Structure 1
Amino acid sequence: MDDMPATASEPSLNAADAARIQEIVERPQKKKRVPGRGVVLRAALATAVMLWAAFTPLDWGWLAWISLVPLLSIARIPDRLGWTYRLLYLSGFIYWLITLQWMRYGDPSMYIALAAMAFYLAFLWPIFVWLNRTCLHRFRIPLFVFAPILWTGLEYLRSFLFTGFSWYYLGHTQHNWVDLIQISDLVGSYGISFLIVLSNAVITECLPLRWIRRGLGIQSNTATDESSSLNEKLLIQTSGGDRPLLHRLGMIGLSVGLVIGAMIYGQIRRGSEAFPVGPRVSLVQGNFVASLKSDRDQWGEIFQVHYHLTGLSVRFQPDLIVWPEGMFRYPVYETQKGLSNEQLDEILEKEFPEIGLTSDYWNSGDSQQRLSSIADMTDAGLIVGASVFAAEKDKVDVYNSAIFAAPQTGIQGRYHKIHRVPFGEYIPLREQLPLIQSLTPFRGDFGIQAGTNLEVFQYKDWRLLPVICFEDTVPHLVRQLVHQAQERDSAPVDVLVNLTNDGWFHGSSELDQHLITAKFRTIETRTPMVRAVNTGISAVIDGDGVVREPDDFIDLDAKREERDPTKSMKNPETGRYHRQRNLALIADVPLDPRESFYVKYGDWFAAGCLVAVFATFFLSFIIRPSQVASE
């Protein structure tokens, strides 16, 4: 896979160079020394450190614009390096282990999931470098042309491969550069990643090869100095070596021009229309650490905290009250129409023999009545996260759901989560590979069923589209739901309602990164989002991806913790978002009347980049170096 650059068949060398080549050919050849493994390791670890710092918790987004230079330098130099792809993989594995370390908090078994996720994601680094070396040294395509395409295509690939992981896209590092990221309504967040990699590639191409070798610590070999010098001359003519000044200025102009163009577009879009005032919401945020072992004794406390915060919200007259995912702990039982009590008793005996559930209790509707009474008490629409147990002919399906209740009319709708979390809500390939389940703490028929249909909750004049937990991190899913809702009902979606339980992650940087990722969904769809999140960070995000300051806070913990009540989303001393507090946030939602090109046409840009990735991969096995050299 470490390809030496192929030389052109008729390079334009002068007579002196030709004579030196003939002399070298006739001279007894000494074995060429392969540069040490430390070269690759230093470069890959430099990229790893800068990428880690570009994301939360440091959030130094400016580093992203230079973070890939060491990695691309490995792709650019013609030298064959020792253990290139093994060391790239090792460095990527270390990077992802550290970046995703928050996964370990939920349960000791999550260390296995963390290692498995890092094991998979680490392959992207050697693949990216190998594809770039192939394009540069074999196909003679400059880095600045193909590197951004390859990176973008690989980001899109991991958005759906193995159920998908759309976190930590390079473009997410620019979430605070509000004008720049507005192009997400054209090409998704992938477009920002493209611009960042283009900048990195241009910087790498503008550096002289001798600087790169010196920076990587590649020492000269006296036995091959002369041939290496000639090799570099050939590289200049064929695969984009030390480019002339005019070429460098052109590349820099292209990169800077595209960034400026994106910023101008963002400023125009942000100033095009005002945001009308939408529903007033109360986002109820409890502070309960989550774990795989559910403590039934805590159910009452969880309900009382959320119920109390809901009651205190009434004086602010909210139109809508939202509880986080799973924070209405009492199951909602449903029965398929036409199923008799006798049939239901048989199913319950088979499914829950140790509990002793009866059809009378199952059909009592206690949970539904309790939710309806809360909606009546507050005179507001109520959306809560709950588990729905749906009894059918011969089984009981369990769903992670959002339940909508309206005052005076009761339960009006329910949405079952479509995109489940692997190993958290189901075990993939459990039947085909039973060993996988043995590596988890789950036994038996663990897991929830996936929902199949979108739901839009209509309340007053507003259309509310629920998404649950990590669904707001999946760009194509949210885009598809918004698009289908608009096409089906010939009416736009007014507000995305996200119910999340981030209590698994103990106030770690996961909370910040989850919020950052959600921002891009609002820009892509030009639809505001409200997020009610257990332990935080609950928020109202407008269609520009900006987190809005609430009008009021209800802080249950201030008196007990002997501190001032919460008055802002962020701690003024640290600049970090408040988390792990029992709060209610009161805010008016800014509606967004703009349309989105991305909603209409989807991932056309990223999909095109992925096609180029596959084309490069297959052509690398079809077109050999000698074929390119002869052209």
Structure 2
Amino acid sequence: MPDRPAAGDGRRGAGPLPGWMRLPLAVLAGVVIGLGQPPYDLWYLGFAGYVAAVWLFLVTPGGLRSAGTGWAVGLGYFGFSMGWIVEPFFVDAAVTGWMAPFALIGLAGGLALFWGLAFRLSSQGRYPVIGLVLAWSLAELARAYVFTGFPWALVPYFWLPVPVIQWVSVVGPHGLTLLTLAAAGLCALALRPGGARAGLAGLALLAALFGGGVLLTPAAQDLAARPVVRLVQPNAPQHEKWDPQKIPVFMQRKLEFTRAAPAEGGAAPALIVWPETSVPNLLHRAGPTLDRITEAAGNTPVLLGVQRADQAGYYNSLIVLAPGGGVQALYDKHHLVPFGEYMPAAALFARWNIAGLAARAEGGYTPGPGPQVIDMGPLGSALPLICYEAVFPQDVNGAPLRPDMLIQITNDAWFGTWSGPFQHLAQARIRAIEQGLPMLRAANTGVSAVIDGAGRVLVTIPLGEAGFADAPLPPPMRHTPYSRTGDLPAGLLMFVAIAALWAGSRRRRTPESD
């Protein structure tokens, strides 16, 4: 029996497209969605791409063909927006360059499976567009958690250039995913005959998202009396960073930026922040280097990235050097990068001589115990985030107590010079909005920035430039609803709605209903 949509399922009036036309269009829709991500930031094209994806779902016969359509949309989106994933493999191209195409195809194709599954599960229901909105939102939630999670470039992140993104402070990124896909679904239904009411509803929802976003945007803060922080960006390209002849050059650069006098009339910094893995020695061997940093900083504490080792293994860590010397705070990165900082099934991959890109020992780094708030003295408390950790909303929300600021140190030299560093910066801005907290971001090659609790970039050091920047530290903003609840409300809503939709469909298929 042919696989066809049921009568009254929301596809009436939309004829199916043949696969030779539908699948390329689906990939193209995914690429258009990707144009909403940095560095393009064409948010209106991003939304149009989601509308096109739902329309393609409506003109797909269903079953496995719906799965193929969803997978093709995801392949286009993830393959285009995450093309930066090949960059780390070309740092040492002779050794790892061969892995680059496999990494891109594997990542894009693997993440696209989440979207393909959502399209497949939604294709046979009585209300497929409602089912797709719920299943797609749930797939994105799963992508953030399954197999340690990879919530890079979540659905609503294209809203960052406009006020709509402020909704993440209330409903979180997954709640905004649900609202975004609902608006896209209604607009897609407007493209079929008799879809005027759906189109009006879609426009009304978009108006509510924009209007609410404007109301949710906090006013700019008065920073006149705030303490000053300094970000240091040495701009050490990854292929040169650990070159023995270049290490002294980059270290001298960081020391000069640290001891530099403030601008005329400016206050001396109360905190200096260096990027991830700024020290070329393991912590227990770094005494002379730390003494030079302390001398350059004078009476100012320095927060920096360093690697350390103990009997349990190697750690990617962050320390705070107190004025006068000594480590006053230590944090070990806990959310490590699979295949980059540790190898899943390391013994198995070792048989083919495949090791992690940043592995210092068999199996890579050892994870720390979890999110940790550190005391920064008169500046308040801070939640440290090392590179990849700022990608995870749930990790930031998992802090044991609410800090006064977020501090991200990172080495985005791994990500190349095109989309990766800007997408990483965008996610740091969204974390600040979710929590209503300022973010200090020091990146090796950029983009370093001071961000307020509304996600506004107050000062920045451009990508690929060496330098330092002084800026007042913004105070915390409101304690946002999302910072109190996390992903639980959005996740429960999705599960309950899907269960209700499934139960309603089953009742309609009973003889009594017929």
TM-score (norm: length of structure 2): 0.86
Q: Show CA shifts across 1:403-429 (max 9, x none).
A: 101213532011111111111100113
Gap regions ≥5 residues in structure 2: 9-14, 90-96
Structure 1 residues 468 and 2, CA, compared in 2 at 3 Å: closer, same or farther?
A: farther
Quote how far apart the aligned CAs of 1:626 are.
Answer: 5.2
Structure-2 separation of matches of 1:82 and 1:164? 26
- 1:72 paired with 2:23, answer no
Gap regions ≥5 residues in structure 1: 9-32, 210-241, 334-361, 487-492, 551-568, 570-577
Q: Which residue of 2 aligns with 1:469?
A: 387
Structure-2 separation of matches of 1:84 and 1:42? 14
Structure-2 separation of matches of 1:257 and 1:628? 42
- 1:251 paired with 2:201, answer yes
Quote how far apart the aligned CAs of 1:596 are.
Answer: 1.6
Structure-2 separation of matches of 1:160 and 1:250? 35
Structure-2 separation of matches of 1:277 and 1:591? 11
Structure-2 separation of matches of 1:92 and 1:496? 32
Residue 49 of structure 2 aligns to a residue whose secondary structure is: coil
Q: Which amino acid aligns with 1:184?
A: V
Quote how far apart the aligned CAs of 1:100 are.
Answer: 1.5
Q: Show CA shifts across 1:110-158 (max 9, x none).
A: 4433332112112133223223323xxx2x2362x44433332222211
Structure 1 residues 477 and 615, CA, compared in 2 at 3 Å: closer, same or farther?
A: same
> Any conservation in 2 of the 1:51–1:67 contact (CA below 8 Å)?
yes
Q: Which amino acid aligns with 2:87?
A: Y
Q: Show CA shifts across 1:176-218 (max 9, x none).
A: 11x3222211111233333322221111112225xxxxxxxxx
Q: Which residue of 2 aligns with 1:290?
A: 238
Q: Which residue of 1 aligns with 2:434?
A: 524
Q: Which residue of 1 aligns with 2:309?
A: 389
- 1:194 paired with 2:145, answer no
- 1:158 paired with 2:106, answer no
Q: Which amino acid aligns with 1:50?
A: V
Q: Which residue of 2 aligns with 1:560?
A: none
Structure-1 separation of matches of 2:220 and 2:466? 38
Q: Show CA shifts across 1:423-478 (max 9, x none).
A: 11001132477668637676961411111041413222422221111111110101
Q: Which amino acid aligns with 2:364?
A: G
Structure 1 residues 509 and 249, CA, compared in 2 at 3 Å: closer, same or farther?
A: closer
1:198-277 mapped onto 2 (5 Å cutoff): 198-208=182-192, 242-243=194-195, 245=196, 247-248=197-198, 251-252=201-202, 254-267=204-217, 270-271=218-219, 277=225
Structure-2 separation of matches of 1:332 and 1:2? 66
Identity of aligned residues (%): 26
1:133-152 mapped onto 2 (5 Å cutoff): 133-134=123-124, 138=125, 140-141=126-127, 143=129, 145-152=130-137
Q: Which residue of 2 aligns with 1:413?
A: 329
Structure-1 separation of matches of 2:107 and 2:497? 22
Residue 315 of structure 2 aligns to a residue whose secondary structure is: strand
Q: Show CA shifts across 1:29-76 (max 9, x none).
A: xxxx98521232243033123112221232211112221223212332
1:565-576 mapped onto 2 (5 Å cutoff): none
- 1:600 paired with 2:484, answer yes
Which of 322, 334, 342 does residue 273 from structure 2 map onto? 322
Structure-1 separation of matches of 2:119 and 2:53? 7
Quote how far apart the aligned CAs of 1:398 are.
Answer: 1.2
> Any conservation in 1 of the 2:168–2:175 contact (CA below 8 Å)?
yes
- 1:534 paired with 2:444, answer yes
Q: Which residue of 1 aligns with 2:414?
A: 504
Quote how far apart the aligned CAs of 1:263 are.
Answer: 2.7
Q: Which residue of 2 aligns with 1:123?
A: 113
Residue 228 of structure 2 aligns to a residue whose secondary structure is: strand
Quote how far apart the aligned CAs of 1:500 are.
Answer: 0.5
Q: Which amino acid aligns with 1:40?
A: R
Q: Which residue of 1 aligns with 2:34?
A: 52
Quote how far apart the aligned CAs of 1:628 are.
Answer: 8.6
Structure-2 separation of matches of 1:450 and 1:4? 50
Structure 1 residues 628 and 285, CA, compared in 2 at 3 Å: closer, same or farther?
A: farther
Q: Which amino acid aligns with 1:470?
A: Y
Structure 1 residues 184 and 593, CA, compared in 2 at 3 Å: closer, same or farther?
A: same
Q: Which amino acid aligns with 2:346?
A: R
Q: Show CA shifts across 1:284-316 (max 9, x none).
A: 001111149943333222211111111214565
Residue 189 of structure 1 aligns to a residue whose secondary structure is: helix
Quote how far apart the aligned CAs of 1:602 are.
Answer: 0.9
TM-score (norm: length of structure 1): 0.71
Residue 343 of structure 2 aligns to a residue whose secondary structure is: coil
Q: Which amino acid aligns with 2:327?
A: I
When Rg is computed on C-alpha atoms for both structures, the one with the higher figure is 1
Structure-1 separation of matches of 2:502 and 2:282? 51
Which of 227, 251, 257 does residue 303 from structure 1 map onto? 251
Q: How many residues align?
A: 495
- 1:279 paired with 2:261, answer no
> Any conservation in 2 of the 1:6–1:626 contact (CA below 8 Å)?
no
- 1:548 paired with 2:464, answer no
Residue 443 of structure 2 aligns to a residue whose secondary structure is: strand
Residue 236 of structure 2 aligns to a residue whose secondary structure is: coil
1:554-569 mapped onto 2 (5 Å cutoff): none
Structure-2 separation of matches of 1:540 and 1:2? 58
Structure 1 residues 628 and 592, CA, compared in 2 at 3 Å: closer, same or farther?
A: farther
Structure-1 separation of matches of 2:63 and 2:486? 40
> Any conservation in 2 of the 1:273–1:594 contact (CA below 8 Å)?
no
Q: Show CA shifts across 1:65-123 (max 9, x none).
A: 22122321233247459955335434533442232121112221344333321121121
> Any conservation in 1 of the 2:60–2:66 contact (CA below 8 Å)?
no
Q: Which residue of 1 aligns with 2:338?
A: 422
Q: Which residue of 2 aligns with 1:6?
A: 6
Q: Name the Cα RMSD after superposition.
A: 3.3
Q: Which amino acid aligns with 2:478?
A: R
Residue 67 of structure 1 aligns to a residue whose secondary structure is: helix
> Any conservation in 2 of the 1:75–1:130 contact (CA below 8 Å)?
no
